Amino acid sequence: MTAVFVSHPSDKLDHYFGARATEALHALADVRFNPEPRELSTAELVDAARGCEYLIAYRQTAGPETLFRDWPELRAFIRCAMDIRTVDVAAASAHGVLVTRASAGFVPAVAEWIVAMMVNLGRDLVRHVETAHRQEPQIQSMGRQLHGSTLGVIGLGRIGRHLAALAGALGMRVLASDPHAAKGEASANLVPLAVLLAESDFVVCLAPASAETENLMDAAAFAAMKQGAFFVNAARGELVDDDALLAALDAGHLGGAALDVGRAPDQMPTPALARHPRVLATPHMGGLTRPATEHQAMETVGQLAALLKGEPPPGAVNAADARRWRKEFPA
């Protein structure tokens, strides 16, 4: 029977893979799991997975050239996430290993996290709750409602379009900036980034991470935002110049920020920003809901099922170079 190795740390397996996907996987193959509550090094992974033909890779499991070179039985690196930036796809192709990725199952979850953060930023809810927990006197404050406010969405991918629809239903005016979006693609008004920054009460960064978008939100971008506006990042830490964001917060130019991602390990917000009194920081959990993680886990199992039938699955990124897998299913 086919053998598959699942690289999720043991303490992350339930959250990021789950019982339903595990049961479905057992029906397809002999399954071995990472026994450690941590990510294995590449050498440890190769050693632990000897004899396995397929890898279901945790979102942080790297795919360097040495993995594909030193694991000759490996036929497919099946990423249980969308992000494959830590996978050397060219090296995988050179060694004949298929690489796949899961589709986004977290769109509603992340969009709902953003709405929750905008409400919290505008109404200062966390501070009021913490004051009550400390049994200190409660002092009312004037809040900012979403209805009638302007939302600026940087990046009109699936999350951006979903968020724009939610914001429109809440009565927000929605502006969007995306050089690749077409007019009428979402319930948002497409404008240049400079206009979006100048007119938005809430600026939400959802652009893809790339060399072109590195530090997209820098000192000039924060200075271009309205006095007292709020910034939300639910995309990638590389999009933001952390020092520039700290300076804008310290100067009082921004009303606050909400961050689910940053430049710390596993895309966590950095400690300097997370502890800032004007920042609401969460540990990269905007998409961590059972439906979202189960979507990607079950899709991963489905990809393996397709491969075992000799079919390249949706999500394959280098199917033409998958020589090791194709040897099992010659045309």
pLDDT in tens, 274-310: 999 999 999 999 998 999 999 999 999 999 999 999 9
Neighbours of 291 (CB within 10 A): 10
Is the separation of the CB atoms in 255 and 278 below 8 Å?
Answer: yes
The length of the chain, given as a count of residues:
331
95, 162, 284, 295: the active-site residue:
284
Q: For residues 135 and 19, give the distance between their C-alpha atoms in angstroms, rounded to a whole number.
A: 41
Is the separation of the CB atoms in 278 and 257 below 8 Å?
Answer: yes
Give the pairing of strands 202-205 and 230-233.
Answer: parallel
Mark whether 295 is an active-site residue.
no
Please give the structure tokens belonging to residue 74.
């490996």
Is the separation of the CB atoms in 237 and 264 below 8 Å?
Answer: yes
At the top level of CATH, the class of 3-105+289-326 is alpha beta
Query: DSSP secondary structure string, 74-132?
Result: --EEEESSS--TTB-HHHHHHTT-EEE-PPP--HHHHHHHHHHHHHHHHHTHHHHHHHH
Neighbours of 295 (CB within 10 A): 20
pLDDT band at 132 (very low <50, low <70, confident <90, very high): confident
What pLDDT does residue 143 have?
87
The chain-wide mean pLDDT, for the chain, equals 94
Phi, psi angles (nearest 5°) of residue 4: -130, 140
- Percent of the chain whose pLDDT exceeds 70: 98
**Which of 301, 266, 263 has its CA nearest to residue 38?**
266
CATH superfamily placement of domain 107-281: NAD(P)-binding Rossmann-like Domain (3.40.50.720)
Coil vs helix vs strand at 227: coil
Global pTM? 0.88
pLDDT band at 41 (very low <50, low <70, confident <90, very high): very high
In tens, the pLDDT along 226-276 reads 999 999 999 999 999 999 999 999 999 999 999 999 999 889 999 999 999
Is the separation of the CB atoms in 296 and 99 below 8 Å?
Answer: no
* pLDDT of 183 higher than 80: no
Every domain range in the chain assigned CATH 3.40.50.720: 3-105+289-326, 107-281
CB crowding 18-35: b at 16 or more within 10 Å, else e:
beebbebbeebbebbbbe
